[in-house]
Copies of this chain bind each other. A is one copy, B any other.
């Protein structure tokens, strides 16, 4: 599923291409297989397909995700891109090394807010995971990330926000750095528990196999990374049977396997 920026694969793609029209961008890609054109960072292509026509290459060139393997906000977006079966260029930004690669000028030129995820689709550059997921859902055909029924859609968005504004921001890396090493475990533990107490009640009513009914939605893309964080901070998950049950079902889904931190190119070797 995951291939290192593939000089040989691109050549392989060219070999199989029928009516191959190469763009200057694609030429640049081929001539610098281990560098992203825009950032100077190493990049990888995430795809499910063989390289056998120009469309695939053009499409991949157009979609870029600046991500960090363990960033829960990046993870949400990776799930949605996988559900939509969209290939993209994965550009890792290490949030800790050298004081955080996100602070480097080369990345600030892409996103002056210096945050991942940053999603690039042609000329459109979007920050903030909820905004990116909304864009992906509206822009690309295929699997729908939100129900059509407005009441159900509101429930999905409510669950997203319980996590994305009610829990994660209060226990994210920059807040924990300010809280300090001595207190960060208690702090993160407290806010995740408090949020999960509410979320569990909501899911008691809304969930079927997944967060809202039996279809995977944007809410599920938010849930899984938050459970991963809960485990990192030793939250007792036995208190949350619905959250645990749904997370277990989702973990087996191909899109969630693909988006998992362990399967990202910048995940340190175990």
Give the residue name and chain of the B residue nearest to A166 (CB). B169
Partner of A150, one of B127, B138, B150, B202: B138
For chain A, what secondary structure do more than half of its interface residues adopt (helix, strand, loop), or is it mixed?
helix
Q: Which of A86-94, A128-136, A236-244 contacts B (4 or more CB under 8 A)?
A: A128-136
Q: In the complex this chain forms, how many copies of it are found?
A: 2
User: CB of A53 within 8 A of chain B?
Assistant: no
Q: Is the CB of B153 within 8 A of A134?
A: yes
Q: Are B161 and A112 in contact (CB under 8 A)?
A: no
Task: Assess whether B150 is in contact with A131, with CB atoms less than 8 Å apart.
Answer: no
A197 — nearest CB in chain B belongs to which residue? B113
The answer to whether A134 and B113 touch (CB under 8 A), given A169-B166, A169-B169, A170-B175, is: no
Cross-chain contact A161 with B198 (CB below 8 angstroms): no
Q: A151 at interface (Cβ–Cβ under 8 A)?
A: yes
Q: With the chains together, A130 CA to B163 CA distance in Å?
A: 12
Q: Which of B135, B157, B170, B174 contacts A154 (CB 8 A)?
A: B135
What are 12 A-B residue pairs whose CB atoms fall within 8 Å in the complex? Answer: A113-B162, A113-B198, A113-B201, A124-B154, A128-B157, A131-B157, A134-B157, A135-B154, A135-B157, A138-B150, A166-B169, A174-B194
